[in-house]
Amino acid sequence: MQTQRVIRQVVSNPLIAVCQLTNTHDKNRNIEKAHELISKAKDHGCKMIFFPECADFIGRSKDEALKLAEPINGETMKTFRQLAENYKMWISVGGFHNKKSEDILPANTHVIIDDNGQIVIQYDKLHQFNIDTPKVRLLEREFSSAGNQLHPPVETPVGKIGLNICYDVRFPELSYFHRQAGADILAFPAAFTVPTGMAHWEVLLRARAIETQCYVVASAQYGKHTDTRSSYGHAMIVDPYGKVVAQCSDREGLCYAEIDLNYIKEVRQGLNMIGDRRGDLYTTYYKQKFPTEGVDATFADKTIPASSVFYRSRLSFAFVNLHPLVPGHVLVSPNRVVQSIKDLTPAENADLFNTVQVVSNVVLEHYKAESSNIAIQNGADAGQTVPHVHVHIIPRKHKDFGDDTDNMYKELAEHETKRPQQTPEQMAEETAIYRKLLYP
């Protein structure tokens, strides 16, 4: 009976394929090889296949790389999308030279395509690899633009996947971001150089798996691409306990592994690394913004309608003021109802004041102001009338409160009902202005 239970569990675990390729400047040949591997993975019963960085090509020079780059709606990505639909398989295109504009260098974009051929997420590589030594010279900044946005893990048939690319593996904060956002798998498509790969590749991948308790899926480029560029290879899959469960040989091909979501739970229950973190002593701040439409906010015992909320971070929200002192006087509060600053966690504190900075910058720019008051009335004796921490952002102009700039504090201390009240329509209009600026 026990054996039968194990067999059913293994059968139900989705199978993935991880690619190792030696791509060149020949995009047609690279696509042909990708097609062959997708077909092979399908024959093995895989639900998803992972291609490495530079899945489209590796140029022989900077000029050639720029010339061969395509937009996301170009022929290369159309072909990958068609293959996903034809074979009914999810595809991770681990690195694509994404030509977004003639004015900027292409992005290095990790694309996930579903089994209907639809793009479900795009991630632009955040950390650029720039090395210039007697043995290796590869400056990614010369032919690629860095990304500037964090993306939460994406739901797939094999689990929730956190997207990374190559050099990102050296920055554990990004892996932890994915873990705390619910990732089961961390994908690290790569084109590691031979010297750095020999020294660090497996060590880094296993470390990321151990510290996040996630599967790590690392597709890789391998071998000689041009006269001046070679890659380390060793595409592999690491389980959430840090064991290498599959690895490619020193050639182009695939390795396979089952993703056992129950095993992830078992590892995490046995060693609760997230729960054991000392959030009272340290934190890691991630600059994220979340949708505001249709999501009300709680402000003490009041409900702030979504039509008045114009920005959301992971732990805070910003909203327009019913009784503003001046145009642009807005408020920022933590999501959790907390009466005093002393009760904020380090994570809430970091998120709150980083959100204040983001919002303040936009408000000042919109109202063409160079100064502002950032004020907190922390406790009743300081004038706090709502028992929920909130930060006032007040853009200032020359003599806007008379000759004494501190008159602002006197007016702020007066009860808000003495100030003019905005109509719901005015507040919604103001909200729309800030949303447009913060969510371009």
- CATH number of the domain at 65, please: 3.60.110.10
Tell me: pLDDT of 9 over 60. Answer: no
266 and 349 belong to one structural domain:
no
Q: Determine the structural domain holding residue 375 and report its residue range.
A: 297-438
Tell me what pLDDT residue 8 has: 31
Tell me what pLDDT residue 105 has: 96
At 288-297, the pLDDT tens digits run 999 999 999 9
Q: Is residue 315, in this structure, part of any structural domain at all?
A: yes
Say how far residue 46 (Cα) sits from the centre of its chain: 26
Q: Is residue 336, in this structure, part of any structural domain at all?
A: yes
242 and 340 belong to one structural domain:
no
Q: Which of 270, 288, 319 is the last residue of a domain?
A: 270
Tell me: pLDDT of 33 over 90. Answer: yes
208 and 301 belong to one structural domain:
no
Tell me: pLDDT of 419 over 80. Answer: no
390 catalytic, yes or no? yes
Q: What pTM did the predictor assign?
A: 0.89
The mean predicted confidence, pLDDT, of the chain is: 94
HSE-CB for 29 with a 13 A CA cutoff: 9
345 and 198 belong to one structural domain:
no
Tell me: pLDDT of 58 over 50. Answer: yes
Burial code (b: 16+ CB inside 10 Å, e: under 16) for 24-45 equals bbebeebbebbbebbeebbeee
Q: Is residue 327, in this structure, part of any structural domain at all?
A: yes
Q: Which of 254, 270, 286 is the last residue of a domain?
A: 270
Tell me: pLDDT of 155 over 60. Answer: yes
Annotated binding site for substrate: 321, 377, 383-386, 392
| Domain count for the chain | 2
Average of per-residue pLDDT across 108-134: 95
232 and 309 belong to one structural domain:
no
CATH number of the structural domain spanning residue 392 = 3.30.428.10
Q: Is residue 239, in this structure, part of any structural domain at all?
A: yes
Tell me what pLDDT residue 415 has: 62
| Residue 417 pLDDT class (50, 70, 90 cuts) | low
49 and 179 belong to one structural domain:
yes
Q: Which of 270, 289, 306 is the last residue of a domain?
A: 270
19 and 137 belong to one structural domain:
yes
420 and 307 belong to one structural domain:
yes
For residue 276, what are the CA distances in angstroms to 180, 270, 281, 338, 410?
13, 12, 12, 23, 46
Average of per-residue pLDDT across 435-439: 97
Could you tell me the two tokens for 93?
């295109």
Annotated binding site: 321, 377, 383-386, 392
135 and 54 belong to one structural domain:
yes
105 and 200 belong to one structural domain:
yes
Average of per-residue pLDDT across 245-264: 97
Q: Is residue 284, in this structure, part of any structural domain at all?
A: no
248 and 328 belong to one structural domain:
no
Q: What percentage of the chain carries pLDDT values higher than 70?
A: 97
Strand duo 215-218 + 185-187: pairing:
parallel
| Residue 364 pLDDT class (50, 70, 90 cuts) | very high
117 and 220 belong to one structural domain:
yes
**Annotated active-site residue in 110, 388, 390, 415:** 390
Which amino acid makes up residue 139? L
CA–CA gap between residue 205 and residue 196 (Å, rounded): 13
For residue 256, what are the CA distances in angstroms to 232, 236, 244, 436?
19, 9, 12, 45
When comparing pLDDT for 132 and 248, which is higher? 248
